[in-house]
Amino acid sequence: MTVARALELKGVPYRTVELPELVHIPHQRLRFGGRSVPAVRFEDGVKEIGSRPLLRLLDERVPEPPLLPADPDLRARVLDLEAWGDEFQGVPRRLIFWGLRRTSSAFPSYTEGSRWRVPAAVSRVVGPGVAGMVMRVHGASDETTREDLEALPGHLARIEAAIGDGVLGGEQPNAADLQLAPSVRLLLTLDDVAPLVESGRAAAWARALFPDVPGRMPAGTFPT
Ligand SMILES: N[C@@H](CCC(=O)N[C@@H](CS)C(=O)NCC(=O)O)C(=O)O
């Protein structure tokens, strides 16, 4: 979502290649020399992997609109938030797969619109196993779920403060907006967690930048 929005903001037409979860790791190694998505191959053959390196490269290739402020102090704060955002991705990622292992009926909602959409009947059977495997890849467990939920108010407070300071949520989305808003938007797909996010300005900011995100994890998935 981060890179797709950056391409759109820069007016760069692109085609999305969707890869099935887990199978993408060897594919990415072969094609991009790394194990993760997102990655981009430009028409001139230039390839890059990783949301942050990709946004730097996009600013070089298509300077307008810039994703980093010209003011050195603001730029440093945006880069700092973006770097934290790269780590913060792990929170919704771990929570969603922990939730899917427990509530596999939610799988189809997260694959809506995908060419790899999983029929409900199939996801009920294989879902918990797949979610368990993906949890291992991302280091998710009952303990990380507890830690992530307990740390969430602090993380959200940092985002709220940055919105309050105008570093996030400005007229022109910057690299930190594009990095953090998708993670907050994904947290809003978790009915148990959404009220926490809705209590501040982060929910409206994330929805404004990423209105349509598939996925709905029913309430009661996470222990009260
Ligand atoms: N944080 C990096 C990597 C993103 C990332 O972790 N993507 C996941 C998507 S599920 C992935 O491909 N993980 C595979 C792995 O790292 O094992 C970025 O923003 O580009």
C-alpha 36 to ligand 1 mean position (Å)? 4
Instruction: Write down the pLDDT at residue 116.
Output: 87
Residue 23 Cβ inside 6 Å of ligand 1? The answer reads no
Q: Which residues contact 10 (CB under 8 A, 6 or more apart)?
A: 58, 62, 64, 65
Beta carbon of 86 within 6 Å of any ligand 1 atom? yes
Q: Fold for domain 72-209?
A: Glutathione S-transferase Yfyf (Class Pi); Chain A, domain 2 (1.20.1050)
- The residue contributing the CA closest to ligand 1 atom 2 is 50
> Is residue 137 in contact with ligand 1, taking CB distance under 6 Å?
yes
* Closest CA relative to residue 18, chosen from 129, 112, 126, 128: 112
User: Which CATH fold topology does 2-61 show?
Assistant: Glutaredoxin (3.40.30)
CA atoms within 13 A on the CB side of 44: 2
Of 204, 185, 153, 164, the C-alpha closest to 2 is 185
Cα dist. 197→84, 168, 190, 219 in Å?
18, 15, 10, 15
Compute the average pLDDT of residues 180-198.
98
Of 152, 150, 159, 207, give the one whose Cα is nearest residue 180.
159
Q: Which residue has the higher pLDDT, 52 or 119?
A: 52
The pLDDT assigned to 119 comes to 86
28 CA closest ligand 1 atom index: 12
**Residue 88 in this model has a pLDDT that exceeds 90:** yes
DSSP 25-45: HHHHHHHHSSS-S-EEE-TTS
Task: Kindly give the distance from the C-alpha atom of residue 108 to the centroid of ligand 1, in angstroms, as a whole number.
Answer: 21
CA dihedral 130, 139, 39, 168 (to 10 degrees): 120
- Closest-lying ligand 1 atom to the alpha carbon of residue 25: 14
pLDDT above 90 as % of the chain: 94
Q: Give the pair of three-digit tokens for residue 191.
A: 């009915």
User: 4: burial class by Cβ within 10 Å (0-12, 13-18, 19+)?
Assistant: middle
Give the model's pLDDT for residue 118: 81
Nearest CA to ligand 1 atom 5: 36
Closest residue by Cα to atom 19, ligand 1, is 51
Q: Tell me which residue has its CA closest to atom 14 in ligand 1.
A: 36
Low-confidence winner among 58-67, 110-119, 141-150 (lowest mean pLDDT): 110-119
If we measure between CA atoms, which residue out of 18, 14, 59, 67 comes closest to residue 41?
14
Q: How far apart are CA 105 and CA 122, in angstroms?
A: 10
Q: For residue 80, how far is its CA from the centre of ligand 1 (angstroms)?
A: 19
What is the structure's pLDDT at 49? 98
Tell me what the mean pLDDT of segment 162-173 comes to: 97
* Domain-wise residue ranges, the chain: 2-61, 72-209
